Amino acid sequence: MKAVIVKPGEKDSVHLEDVPRPTLSSSNALLKIKRVGIDGTDIEINSGSYGECPTGSDYLILGHECLAVVEDIEGSSSIQKGDLVVPTVRRPDDCPNCMNGEPDMCLKGEYKEHGIRGLHGFASEFGVTDPNFLIKIPQDLENIGVLLEPVSVAEKGIYHTFKIQERLKWTPRKALVLGSGPLGLLTTFLLRLKGLEVSTVARGARGSLKSQLVERAGAEYVSTAEKPLNTLGKFDIIMEVTGVSSVAVDAQQLLNANGVMCFLGVYPPNTLSLDVGKAYTDLVLGNRTYFGSVNANKRDFEIGVSDIRQIEKNFPAVLRDMITKTVPLSEYKAAFYPDKGDIKILLDLSAGEKETKVTPLEDSI
Contacting positions for ligand BGC (CB under 6 A): 39, 41, 64, 89-90, 113, 116, 149, 153, 294-295
Query: In the chain, at which residue ranges do the beta strands (DSSP E only) sit?
Result: 2-6, 15-18, 29-38, 60-61, 65-72, 84-87, 90-91, 112-114, 118-119, 126-129, 134-136, 174-178, 197-202, 220-223, 235-240, 255-263, 289-292, 323-328, 344-348, 357-358
Does 203 participate in binding Zn ion (rule CB under 5 A)? no
Minimum distance of ligand BGC from residue 50's CB (angstroms) = 7
Does 108 participate in binding Zn ion (rule CB under 5 A)? yes
201 burial type by CB count under 10 A (0-12 exposed, 13-18 middle, 19+ buried): buried
Stretch that binds Zn ion, among 105-113, 159-167, 192-200, 243-251 (CB under 5 A): 105-113
**Residue partners of 316: CB distance under 8 A and separation at least 6:** none
> Which candidate, 94, 136, 124, places its Cα nearest to that of 19?
124
Give 69 or 95: the residue with its C-beta nearer to Zn ion: 95
Q: Which of 1, 19, 69, 95 binds Zn ion (CB under 5 A)?
A: 95
| Residues 274, 254: Cα–Cα separation, whole Å | 16
In this structure, the dihedral spanned by the alpha carbons of residues 136, 2, 116 and 53, taken in order and rounded to 10 degrees, is 130
Does 98 participate in binding Zn ion (rule CB under 5 A)? yes
x-or-dash pattern for Zn ion, window 53-92, by CB under 5 A?
Answer: ----------------------------------------
Give 102 or 155: the residue with its C-beta nearer to Zn ion: 102
Which partner in ligand BGC, Zn ion, none is near 89 (CB below 5 to 8 A by kind)? ligand BGC
Does 93 participate in binding Zn ion (rule CB under 5 A)? yes
CA 14 to chain CA centroid, Å, is 20
| Residues 258, 288: Cα–Cα separation, whole Å | 5
Residues written for the chain: 365
Stretch that binds Zn ion, among 103-111, 204-212, 273-281, 334-342 (CB under 5 A): 103-111
| Residues 195, 172: Cα–Cα separation, whole Å | 10
Minimum distance of Zn ion from residue 182's CB (angstroms) = 27
Give 116 or 255: the residue with its C-beta nearer to ligand BGC: 116
Minimum distance of Zn ion from residue 151's CB (angstroms) = 23
Minimum distance of ligand BGC from residue 288's CB (angstroms) = 26
Give 239 or 255: the residue with its C-beta nearer to ligand BGC: 239
| Residues 154, 129: Cα–Cα separation, whole Å | 23
Which partner in ligand BGC, Zn ion, none is near 95 (CB below 5 to 8 A by kind)? Zn ion
> Which candidate, 70, 67, 82, places its Cα nearest to that of 149?
67
Does 106 participate in binding Zn ion (rule CB under 5 A)? yes
Q: Which residues bind Zn ion (CB under 5 A)?
A: 93, 95, 98, 106, 108
